[in-house]
Each structure stands twice: as structure tokens, then as C-alpha cells.
Structure 1
Amino acid sequence: MRVAETFTSIQGEGGLIGTPSFFIRTTGCNLRCEWCDTPYTSWRPEGVWRTIADLIAEVPGGVRHAVVTGGEPLLWAPLPALAAALRARGLHVTIETAGTIHQSLACDLMSVSPKLANSDPGPAHATALRDDHRARRSERHALRRLLAEYRCQLKFVIGAPSDLEEVEALLVELGVAAREDVFLMPLGTRRDELAERGRWLTELCMQRGYRFTPRLHIDLWGDTRGR
């Protein structure tokens, strides 16, 4: 599979925040989010071809969690074999996905981040690209299967208070009533914008029962690749 980077850091988002983890970032994505923070996996994909054996050999001895992220890792047919090999090493495996593609595999957590309208490419981009992104992010069949078949957390990127209306409409559509595994995360890659959005977003979480997640890796190291 083609991999943009591997690195060891702490999980910066969601329910396992702060957990030391080995990250495998695949390249390639079926979406084109306007605010994508890893354009080297989507808009301008880069990476090298890696074997599963090479990736497993790179796992540090003291780490017990592995995160396969992207890009969109579910695009890759070898992903089930990679997840199985990581688990065979005794690792807890998280797959991070936008929820537009389904694969059958063994993992411990499917971290699903459905994309909202705030992700749509702006008017500077071709109409066909914008329409394709909207259609792909709005696909629900794969998302429903992931929620039904895996231990999931849902993570939404929030840029404005009005985004919450879209989140709640989607949760109703999906039949998700419990909010303990629904995380709201501020949009941004700078500490100042994350702090500003985080202040009002935490208030919304407290009012409506969602879980707030910061972007801890950015708080600690800034928008630094490999952290």
C-alpha cells in the first residue's frame, strides 16, 4: 500500500486522546475537503509503496496502540491484512475514516469523521470537483454499515455554531441517540483559532451532551508534520 508517512506520537483527538500510538498515514482520498490539513494525502498525494512486513517491523516496542489514518485508508485493499498483522502484534488498532467506504476487517475502534458542508471546496474549484465531493461525503450506505458492524466513535469538525444543526440532523437520520461517543472538534490548524472556536464549542457540548475533543497535538507542537 502507498504510505505518506509513519510516526510515533500521542493520539491528539477523540476518546483515546493522550495515548502513545504508532501512526500509519496512507495516501489517497476520495474527498477534497477545502480545509484538509493533510493535502499531501488528498489534493497532492505523495508517498511510497510499503509492504505490511516493513510497516510491522517499524512499530516501536513500547507502543500498544496503532492508528491507521489518511487520506482515506479504507481505499486500500490490503488494509484488512495490515490491521490483522497489527493486532497479531498485540496492538489496539484504530482506523480513522470519513465513513464513505466500507471494508470488512478486524479492528478495535473505527473512528468515523463524516464530513459536513463546511468541508465543501470553494468556488475557486471546478464545479465538477465540488459536486463530486458533495455526492461522496453525503453517501450513507457505507456509513450505516460501519456504525452497525464496528465499535465506533463519531467525530465532527465544527467551524461555526450553525454546523451543529447539520450534525443533529445527521444523527437523527442515522438513528444515533447516544451522545457519549459523539465528539465535536474545532476546525483549524492554528492554536489561536482552535482556542477561539474551542471556547464556544465547549459551551455547546455542555448544553447538548456531546463530548468535546481538542487537537492536542497542535496545542503541543503546532501544525507539524509527523506529530
Structure 2
Amino acid sequence: MIYLVEHFYSIQGEGKYIGTPSLFFRFGGCNMKCEGFGCEEVLEDGTTILGCDTIHAVNKQHFSNYWTQITKVDEILSILSSYKLPPHVDIVLTGGEPLIYANEPVFIEFLNALHVAGHRITFETNGSLHVDFLEYPVFKECIFALSVKLYNSGEPLSKRVRGEVLKSITSNAKETFFKFTIGASYINIDLEDEISSIVKYAPKTQIFCMPLGGSKKEVEANTEPLVEFCKLKGYNFSDRLHMRIWDKEKGV
């Protein structure tokens, strides 16, 4: 059983394949809360929920109306077939954290069906959960965007940085790259050291840095300082096009 929060056809807004037409499947549930990011959702009753910019895919308690239970692969494949898409369009699996379902039979069936159909599959993951590449070889055909969380996420180090998991994913997956979320206030003398302490587990993997923000205004405020940081350190800057174009609107 898996939970699907939303699906939409758009362009990839972040990372190495930015601008690429992609069909997104956002799954519900995560092993982290990342309240340190400070992104807020205000409910109809005035309650403020704190977390990441996709908190509706993390907090089932307050956003259960978004969550749809999937028990059979045909239920999600019918969603895929309902779109009129170019052949072999990119499929992006995001969340929440999609890899909490890495051992679920219906999820594995879905991945195999996507691979057989010729889709390029990208996981947007925090890189902290084990993937069994031997038991489920379809993962070897996937791309992993490793959004490993930094100290500013508010999550403990032992939870957000798991070296053996990063080594396994980068050694076995078809392609990987790091994608760090950084706010202007977090750009300090320790940031490069923190990033280095993470990427040492996969030293040949490309590094992308993208601005923190749950809205267009926040992303724009964090962009210029981050660009300067990337220029100084030689990292790749990743914009967040979906935020700039659609702001807080979901499902685009």
C-alpha cells in the first residue's frame, strides 16, 4: 500500500534536468519533518503548520484530504495513461520521501512498468533510506537527486546523513547528483565544510545548490547570495523554476 498526494504534468523546476517536461507523482509520507526550513502553511482554522515547502505531503494529520491510498498498480497506471504525453516522457517520483515505499510490492510494480515503457525515472529523495538494489534491480535504472538535508533543516545529523546509504545509491544507481537547499542566512564559513562532509561519500557526484523558500518571494530573496556562494566554491546553481512561475500554487 502506498499513498499518492498529487500528480501533474509540468517541467522539472530543479536540479540537473531543469526545464525538462516531466510527469510528477508526489507520494505521501516522510521520515523527516525539516521544521528548521521554516516554511509555513496556514490552515482554514488559523492553525500554522511548520515544515518544508511540501508539508502537505509530509503531515497526514492535517492534510489527509490530499492523500489517496493506492493498493493496486493498475490504479496508478490508469493515472499515467490518462495523460496525453509525448513518448517516453520523464517521470519524477517525489514527496514527502518516495523511498519510504522502496519495499512495497505495488511501488516496485509501478517502477518496473515505467522502466519497461521506456520512461526516464528520477527519484527526489533525502538520501537517508536504504535501497535494495539486489532484490529490486529496477532501482539500478533510475536517477537519484540526492537532496541530503543540512543542519538548517533542524534534523539530527545521524538521521539526515547516512554515509553507507549514500555510497550504495551512488555506486548502484544509473545516475546521481546532490541537490542542497540553502537559505541566505545559512551561507557562512561552516557551510562549505558541511557540504564537504556529505559529498565525501560520493566524491565524483555533481553538486547543485538551490535557494530555500516556500514561495516566489522567499526563493528570490535567497537567490543572489547563493549564486555568489556557488561562484566562489565552484558548485552548480539550481534555480526553482516552479516557484518563480507558479509561486505557492500546488500541482503545477
TM-score under structure 2 length normalisation? 0.78
| TM superposition shift of 1:68 | 0.7
| Higher mean displacement: 4-13 or 135-144 | 135-144
CA contact (8 A) 1:5 1:25 kept: yes
Q: RMSD in angstroms over aligned alpha carbons? A: 1.8
**1:49 maps to which of 69, 81, 97:** 69
CA contact (8 A) 1:111 1:152 kept: yes
Letter paired with 1:154: F
TM-score under structure 1 length normalisation? 0.86
Q: What is the DSSP-based 3-state SS (H/G/I as helix, E as strand, rest coil) of the residue aligned with 1:16?
A: coil
CA distance in 2 between counterparts of 1:23 and 1:175 reads 27
1:225 to 2:240 alignment: no
Residues 200 and 72 of structure 1: CA distance in aligned 2, closer, same or farther (over 3 Å) = same
CA distance in 2 between counterparts of 1:149 and 1:177 reads 14
Letter paired with 2:53: D
Letter paired with 1:147: T
Q: 1:9-41 CA distances to partner (integer Å, 9 max, x unpaired)?
A: 111000111111111111111111113111122
Report the count of equivalent residues. Answer: 213
Query: Match for residue 117 of structure 1?
Result: 151
CA distance in 1 between counterparts of 2:247 and 2:219 reads 11
1:58 to 2:60 alignment: no
What is the aligned-residue identity percentage?
31
1:182 to 2:198 alignment: no
Query: Match for residue 156 of structure 1?
Result: 180
Gaps of at least 5 residues in structure 1 are 122-132
Q: How does 1:1-227 map to 2 (within 5 A)?
A: 1-34=2-35, 35=37, 36-44=52-60, 46=64, 47-50=67-70, 51-59=72-80, 60-63=83-86, 64-76=89-101, 77-78=103-104, 79-103=107-131, 104=133, 105-120=139-154, 133-150=156-173, 151-159=175-183, 160-162=186-188, 163-172=191-200, 174-177=201-204, 181-227=206-252
Q: What is the DSSP-based 3-state SS (H/G/I as helix, E as strand, rest coil) of the residue aligned with 1:57?
A: helix
